Copies of this chain bind each other. A is one copy, B any other.
Amino acid sequence: MIVLFTDFGLAGPYTGQMKAVLAREAPGVPVIDLFADAPQRDPRRAAYLLAAYAPWFAPGTVFLAVVDPGVGGARKPIIAAADGRQLVGPENGLFAIALRRTACCEVREIAWRPDALSASFHGRDLFAPVAARLARGEPVASAPMPAESALRPDWPDDLAEIVYVDAYGNAMTGLRAATLPRDARLRVGGRTIAPARTFSAVPPGTAFWYGNSCGLAEIAVNLGRADAALGLAIGSAVAVEK
């Protein structure tokens, strides 16, 4: 299985062209759209989202992950292996948190280059063919590189910010719920929010936080929009009150 994680947005030709490459180079391999709207041009916040969602997928999964504002510049194309999953994309920290949370990891610089490489769309021209090859179980020309450079030791283990807002207005933080006290209160958007098990456990219109289905602490309002009610967007600060 190949899983797409990008900031390409829902519209436009980019995801389609990557899928055309995958259909040609890895026919029959399922391709899953996980996020096409990861934090835009923001590998740091996207890294916490990817790290939360990647482990849900089975070992053997290949992630084609492109949040790559430096495309065409100096950043290197890499393959990172983490607990049996492989991540293909730019070396800009996007894989840092996923790698840090795995028992073993390896980072390789991709040496292979396509015959034609556009300056602006390495997702299509370089990363997609590499992901297809890995999904077929075939080797890709690459060289080991120090994992340290991809691990971003200056970034925290969990990020006390909103990293994603979904279509319901629920706001995911970069904090793993399991790292918080069960009864922790979160300070966000000028309000203090208590935990609940799920939506229907609180009255309509009530704000709460809960551990979402991939383990992130998420701010929500039962039958309402947390983003509008609390003024939340990607980057809004969150504080834990113990």
Contact = CB atoms under 8 A, between A and B. Distances in A.
A37 B11 contact: yes
A162 B7 CA distance: 22
A197 interface: yes
A11 B167 contact: yes
Nearest to A37: B11
Contacts of A57: 20
B8 A167 contact: yes
A73 interface: yes
A46 to B, nearest CB: 13
A32 B14 CA distance: 11
Given A17-B34, A20-B32, A23-B32, 7 more contacts: A3-B20, A16-B35, A71-B198, A72-B198, A72-B200, A118-B213, A119-B198
Interface of A: 1, 3, 8-17, 19-20, 23-24, 27, 30, 32-37, 40-41, 53, 56-58, 69-74, 118-121, 124-125, 164, 166-168, 197-201, 210, 212-214, 223
24 contacts: A1-B23, A1-B24, A9-B168, A11-B36, A12-B37, A12-B166, A12-B167, A13-B53, A15-B33, A16-B33, A16-B35, A17-B32, A20-B30, A40-B167, A41-B168, A69-B199, A69-B223, A70-B199, A70-B200, A72-B198, A74-B200, A118-B212, A119-B213, A120-B212
